[in-house]
Amino acid sequence: MSRGPRRANGGRGPAVQRGKRGVPACFAARSVLQFPTMGILERRIRERQRRVEEILEGAKRIFSVKGFVNTTMNDIADSSELSRRTLYLYFNSKEQVSLAMTAAALGELRSTFGRIAGEEGSAFERLSRILEAYRRMMAEDGAKFQFLVSFFENARAVPRESEELVSCETSLGIIEALIADLLKQGLEDRSLRFTEDPKTLAATLTFMVHSLAAASMAYRGSFKNKDERYFSSLFEGSLKILKRYVRGEEALNGPGDSTA
């Protein structure tokens, strides 16, 4: 009795068409439809980053005009030329927006400080350049640093695992580590002189500089007889005092001592 030609699949049903690598053709086609290519993913990531930057710029503008307390999420949406619904796709509250602005500012500081720390010169010279870079960045765009004033208050208003808060903490940790390493190098090249543990002193200096920056931002506009230059001079003078505190024997006795 003739059984006819044997099916390639062992007689278990209709033959399944397969691609070149043995993957069922229907699955292969479906994978193309369901999984975006890397180019599409990268484009989506860039689009999200661009939109977040637009929101932060809009928030910075409206915060500068109305102040943080009087600004609403509707104001931020209008300033960013977005719908309120679109804004909430990226941020849940104005506190989260402010932390994102702080995270961006700290990220810029981290990048700049890292570059300076790797430059030529004594540890004291590089530490001085870092403090000068901080002063210059605040002078050029103080609004970018305005939320150092309310950082802790805003941090309490968002979940601990929020992306913005984690980014702030990461940048602060890296900045402290950079400063601690410079302090250690300063002891070795004798351009710095101090008795504290470098890590502890780095954390103290970082906290003091951020606090000075926050205070100078908070006091602006509060006194009729004190203008922008007055508070800028206070911040600059405070930085000079900090530099003198950690300055070493050679720097104190060397040329240019009077300029701090």
Q: What is the pLDDT of residues 139-189, one digit of tens each?
A: 787 777 777 767 888 888 889 899 999 999 999 999 999 999 999 999 999
In sequence order, the β-bridge partners of residue 247 are 192
* E strands present in 159-247: none
Q: What are phi and psi of 74, to 5 degrees?
A: -60, -40
Question: Within 13 Å and on the Cβ side, how many CA atoms surround 247?
Answer: 19
Cα–Cα distance measured from residue 11 to residue 78, given in angstroms and rounded to the nearest whole number: 66
Three-state DSSP at 162 gives coil
81-87, long-range: CB < 8 A, 24+ apart: 81/54, 82/54, 82/55, 82/58, 87/55
pLDDT at 155: 87
pLDDT at 241: 82
Cα–Cα distance measured from residue 244 to residue 16, given in angstroms and rounded to the nearest whole number: 80
* Token output for 20: 């070149």
Three-state DSSP at 24 gives strand
Q: How confident is the model at residue 126 (pLDDT cuts 50, 70, 90)?
A: very high
Which residues fall within 8 angstroms of residue 219, CB to CB, at 6 or more apart? 226, 231
Report domain extents, the chain.
Answer: 39-91, 94-259
Q: What is the pLDDT of residues 186-209, one digit of tens each?
A: 999 999 988 889 999 999 988 888
pLDDT > 90 in the chain, percent: 41
Q: Which of 61-70, 121-130, 131-140, 148-157 has the lowest mean pLDDT?
A: 148-157
Domain 39-91 matching CATH 1.10.1740.10: the answer reads no
From the candidate CATH numbers 3.40.50.11540, 2.40.30.10, 3.40.50.970, 1.10.357.10, the one assigned to the domain spanning 94-259: 1.10.357.10
Report CA-CA distances (Å) from 207 to 5, 26, 29, 88, 149: 83, 60, 57, 32, 12
Cα–Cα distance measured from residue 193 to residue 204, given in angstroms and rounded to the nearest whole number: 16
Three-state DSSP at 247 gives strand
